[in-house]
Amino acid sequence: MKKNTFKKILVYTLSSILLLVIVLCVHIYMVYRPKAPTASSRVMARIDIKQPINDADANKIKVFMAHEKGVDHYLVNPETSIVVFTFLPIKTTGNRVVDDFKASFSFKADRFVPTTNDLKSSCPVAASSYTYKVYQFISQII
């Protein structure tokens, strides 16, 4: 009699643990899955200018970025010749902003697009996060 009771308790316990693990996996997948951009979404992009710029050029670039449709924040660094900006993906795209930039200025410039390895190494939290590792494992299974 005790053996049957022990087996029932063991089966119910293992079933409950398995159910909880499945619920956890579904929850992690739902939280980390890609979502379509909304009105409050912001995307960051970077323009690398292939030649040196001075403060006057930086000010001209700031004026241009301030009037560019969909761009809501921008930073221009004349020392490194880099322009970083955020934009609303519903109103514009990063490539469109870069194309308008190239058309407006005579600078040799390209949009910086990180490689897969750059993205993997860019966030130290994601690399060491237990939740992120679980998500990666689940993503490989599904």
- Tell me the pLDDT tens digit for each residue of 95-115: 999 999 999 998 899 998 888
Quickly tell me which residue has 């590792």 as its tokens: 133
* Architecture of the domain spanning 43-111: 2-Layer Sandwich (3.30)
Which has the minimum average pLDDT: 81-85, 95-99, 124-128?
A: 124-128
User: What is the pLDDT at residue 1?
Assistant: 61
List, as one string, the DSSP characters of 8-77.
HHHHHHHHHHHHHHHHHHHHHHHHHS-----TT--EEEEEEESS---HHHHHHHHHHHHHSTTEEEEEEE
Domain ranges of the chain: 2-33+124-141, 43-111
**Terminus-to-terminus CA distance in the chain, angstroms?**
42
- Tell me the pLDDT tens digit for each residue of 17-67: 999 999 998 998 888 888 877 778 888 999 999 999 999 999 999 999 999
CA 8, 12, 17, 22 dihedral sign is positive
